[in-house]
Amino acid sequence: MKKVTLNNDIKCPIVGIGTFMIAPSDAENSVREALRMGYRLVDTAAAYQNERAVGRGIKESGVAREEVFISTKLWPSEYENESAVDETIKRLGVDYVDLLYLHQPAGNWLNGYRMLEKAYREGKAKAIGVCNFEGKYIAELESKWKIVPQFIQAEAHPYFAQDELRKTLDKYGIKLMSWYPLGHGDKSLINEPVFSSLAAKYGKTNAQIILRWHTQMGFVVIPGSRNVAHIRDNLDILDFTLTDVEMQEIAALDKGVRYYNRTDAQLDQFAAWQPTYEKV
């Protein structure tokens, strides 16, 4: 597994298994099988309501804890809960997490970020980050952080390569972890002629070409699936390299178009909603 070096010298695998919108029983199975295949990065969140299942999958895999890079996220309703970090670690059944995010720039997010910084100083989180902090939110955070984050998780794909956000990230060595890496499964994106041509050249699927593009952009990518065959295919992207010319051809697809457009009203809803956690 190839890794990227973060701005605090921690190393993170460039491909992981995501668990967004995956029920606990499926998440447990996906994580267990992914780790047995060779994945070493697992991404979850309090809001996914499957952290306990993810923890079980990690244990069942037989892979040593120190070999697994665990990423999770605090939800806005927890940003003023001083025990939230300990609670998410407990749900995962571990002593620390490798990466702890704020999930949304909603509610008292600055207090939430102070909680991340505290967790980082105490060794409860080896790296910290924010999700969906773009535009004015990343600009405000930049003026207020005491510890520079190691990651931002945001929508990114060939139709939306996050050119503007990356200007800030590049200044600080902050890495981008992509969600919606395949454009939310948009067939128009996946079946772009350039991907079909490259898939034929390299003996890969169009989706594998897109995932490889992410890693060569320097992004960490976390596609999720319940299907074990798809999980295996998503990992099988590290045995070829797109040329500079091919990367430029893909860059020409960037339309500045995203699939998810969040509103201020949704941020207010996020601040009020409380996840329901698994009991066991």
* Residues 107, 77: Cα–Cα separation, whole Å: 7
* Residues 256, 258: Cα–Cα separation, whole Å: 7
Between the alpha carbon of residue 68 and those of residues 32, 58, 62, 210, 269, the distances in Å are 11, 8, 11, 24, 33
The yes-or-no answer on residue 39 being catalytic is no
Q: Which of 48, 101, 113, 180 is catalytic?
A: 48
What DSSP letter does each residue of 73-121 carry, written as one string?
Answer: EE-GGGTT-TTHHHHHHHHHTSS-BSEEEE--S-SSHHHHHHHHHHHHH
Residue 45, SS3 per DSSP? coil
Contacts of 3 (CB under 8 A, 6+ apart): 11, 12, 13, 14
Q: Which of 178, 181, 124 is nearest to 151 (CA)?
A: 178
- Name residue 53's amino acid: A
Q: Which residues carry out catalysis?
A: 48
